[in-house]
Structure 1
Amino acid sequence: MDPARASIDLATKIANAVSTVSAQPWEILTERNPDGGRTFEAADIARLQQIRSEYATLSMRGNVFCFREAFDYPGFSINEYCRDLHPNPVGESINLKIQAWSESHGIWIPGISEHCHDIAAFLHPEAGEDRFIAVAKCLSVDWYLNDSIGREWAPTMSPAGQANAMALREHIVEISRAMKVAPDAPLIDKACVEMLLEMQALSGHPTWFSRFLEMWIGHVQRSCGNINAENLGQVPDVFTYLQNSPHQSGLYYTLAHFEFSRDEYLDWSTLTEYCLASDVRNLCWLCALIGGLSNDLISFEKEFVTHQSQSNFVVVLMLNYPALTLGEVVEAIMMILRDLMEHFVTLSGALKNRCAGRHGTPAFRATGIFVQAVEWGIMTTWVWQTRSQRYQHARSIFRETQQG
């Protein structure tokens, strides 16, 4: 089959899966842990080796793909869209405080952590200092878990190391629910509970924290430990991966942070009354998909090539569609991301226009502020990911992440 045709056909299949997932009730979308897929087979081991071989061929050519093309579409430039995004002016000084706090709690990993923590300043450019610090502490705990027992690192651990990672994952879930630790508890326990208590104390909404906590716990459960298809004995289907992706990437709890950081909370009863609830939920879903899938694309080299993690959309598609090449799969994901971006920009613009006429009403003001925050989140997906050293790779197949 012609490579372009193959990519288009796969993009159509992904688009159908996206539509099927997004049609589910929000409660199912954010809470259920689907388990659809098939048994991991011997042929999949050969397929994984084939992916590495195809990647080696592409990387020898270098700069095969332009990551920007996953965002740009006719009449829209991601660079122009992000032109006015600037990090929070207190970000640099707070980053130093967060580094000191992280070091004192044993969750700063030299050589890794310094390439992560500035993301908070882009995600929350107008947050006040107290809320900025609380959000940054949450991200610091998450980065530590991600870079010590996360899905990317666990596959290369010894069996004992993997067992310890799973035990720590369940322990973090347990103490997150309990919200308390013993005086002699490990530093990571204290960091996690301190962060959660701080967010609870600062929250200005009666139900926000409980929603955030469930999103946080769902993320930890889905993102830590060896969740490779080979280890679990099951290859997730596209539907299952798409539904899990926002939890796995942390985008759902990040969306909750957008309300918290400005102390402006969505009034779902008013949104429902004015027939806006569905559109706001769709905006959240689009943001979560764009953020998660674009990260899978740009971190494919770091996750799969370097660390052998199979929990990546590129790998999942390659295992589900063995007739396709790596290049065809990457092109298909970029097509899908362009389509999602166009839907996102159109929907966010419409929502802002509807809220602008009623900005004096608290519920509409809060919604307008939230939509702007979600837009900053999408901008960060492009700006931060392409400038961060975290995703730079020698002989990268993406122009924007070419090391050096």
Structure 2
Amino acid sequence: MKPNRVCGTALALALVLGASALWGPPGAAAGAGAAPADGDAALYRLALAPGARGEAGLARQRTRPFALLGVSWTDPSAELGGTVEARTRDAATGRWSPWTALEPVEPGLDGPRPGVRGSTEPVWVGPSDGAEVRVRGADALPAGLEVSLVDPGRDPVAPPQDSGPVPARPRTPAAPAVPGPPSTAPRPAVVPRIAWGADESLNDEGPVYLPGGRIKAVFVHHTADARPYDCTQSAAIVRGIHVFHVRTNGWRDLGYNFLVDRCGTVFEGRQGGIDRPVRGAHTYGWNAESAGIAVLGDHTAAGASPAALAAVARVAAYKLGQYGGTLDGTTTLTAGATQTNRFGVSFTAGRAYPFRAVSGHRDGFATECPGDALYAQLDEIRTARPWPWPGVIPVVPTPARTG
């Protein structure tokens, strides 16, 4: 695995589309698979054609509507050894986006699984109807290169926010019989999976919980950061990431435990219970004792909004507080892999290492994630007071009924 990878941003993938293309009628749109019905998300795959040695691409063409994309290949252990670049055509204006580079995802994030593929991070490009991709490697490229285009569909009607247990949706595994432990911090409002429109037919394996049953640290990430977004698009972004992680990567579910948008809305990620120690696929080598919170957007140059930071603090305080941890605390984690982090610190599998209870992805793995600007804001999260008075859990009175 290569150092200096960027979580959710680009390292090597750009979708290139020419502004002078001649577009055929809608029926000529490319892409495998049927159009989504009743607002369901859909994914279309297009194979990349080989070019000169170490090159492959997707010729400029009309596509079915999509808003999130990424590139994948057959062997998850194969490395690109070069760059993947892309740009897309805005469905409303017809303008082409700048080139965007995508970072390959480290293999093994969700453990050994049949059918898992190598891939880049998915990126949000907004409503689009055309794409072109070019891949340039230093040597031979991995086999089976293809681009996945995700149409996230429409939002469910009036998605509610959750501040308590969520009733099971049809096809959703039954809620755990034993709830998670109480926390020293209040449970934050969270948009449950049923409200953001998770397609639970994709998740037929059920959740997996941390082997020790205890969350000792929270890792902060950024994701889907290629294009600025409006908060009305947040649920669609989460649906797109979910579909990409399952149908392209071959993971059991969405990788992050929670996702936060710039308006401070928190979305439930991987299924298994907001109050439970669910094992996610977010920080290679450290998933067995931690939870992952991803902030939507690019935070390499610009920091996360105050609302997003406050939301991350509320979620982290709640999850750490279930197991006696605090936002400004420290802990020890046992490495699940031999590797180095962004700062050159080496880890050996099976050995214990000190970590801040709230850490950035780059603290555990060689990546730029969660971006320089958001990483610099982690101390604001560690010193936050997400409830009115330190050590006091607010009690919300039952609303009075009229009449």
For the superposition of Structure 1 and Structure 2, which TM-score range results when normalised by the shorter chain? under 0.3
Higher RCO (C-alpha under 8 Å, 6+ residues apart): 1
More helix by share: 1
TM-score, scaled relative to structure 2: 0.27
Instruction: Please report the TM-score for the alignment, with normalisation by the length of structure 1.
Output: 0.27
